[in-house]
Chain A
């Protein structure tokens, strides 16, 4: 098989894996880094929101392979990371997740109670936790 064909096949497999993950997990966050160690402020904030809501979620670190982000964006028609999916549908990125969280709408979507306290992580500027290499 030529290199081009091999790459196309790997990408197709990767795309199918991503689609399967989105279908199989009620809540899945494609992010930079991991929930324990986010590599970017936007991803960190989205993780903090999900943790504040107490909803279990799957997480995929897109930094592991640049093709993940490319195939994901082709599937979701959304250019940035993080991307939050609930029940197979793109909810949006950090901005939308934050807006929905603050209005109580995200809690409703996830079927949980709106917490009274703000999330633990409230970065005021992103420079301190942003991984500029990401």
Chain B
């Protein structure tokens, strides 16, 4: 089971230049809420932004990560080549 810290680190690694906050909102280790602000989101719809974050975790979503609630936002900065 990942921790909020691990999830945060994985998002930061996949989207450098991002501001990421992750909380475990039931304390049970499988329901997380993440806020991700990234230059990589510029020009992308909210749907696409969420897809990009979910893609980091692949098949873990719905499995070990039972729920990952997202709030995403585009910010200024150097977008990453990903």
Contacts and interface: CB of A to CB of B under 8 A. Distances in A.
Interface of A: 42, 69, 77-81, 90-96, 99, 125-127
Contact of A79 (B46, B62, B69, B71): B62
A57 B57 CA distance: 31
22 contacts: A42-B67, A42-B69, A69-B62, A77-B51, A78-B51, A79-B61, A79-B62, A80-B62, A80-B68, A92-B46, A92-B50, A93-B50, A94-B69, A95-B50, A95-B70, A96-B46, A96-B50, A99-B46, A99-B71, A125-B26, A126-B26, A126-B31
A90 to B, nearest CB: 7
Interface of B is mostly: mixed
How many chain B residues sit at the interface, stated as a range, is: 10 to 19
Contacts, number: 39
Nearest to A69: B62
Contacts of B47: 90-92, 96
B54 A127 contact: no
A99 B46 CA distance: 10
Contacts of A91: 47
B68 to A, nearest CB: 8
Nearest to A96: B46
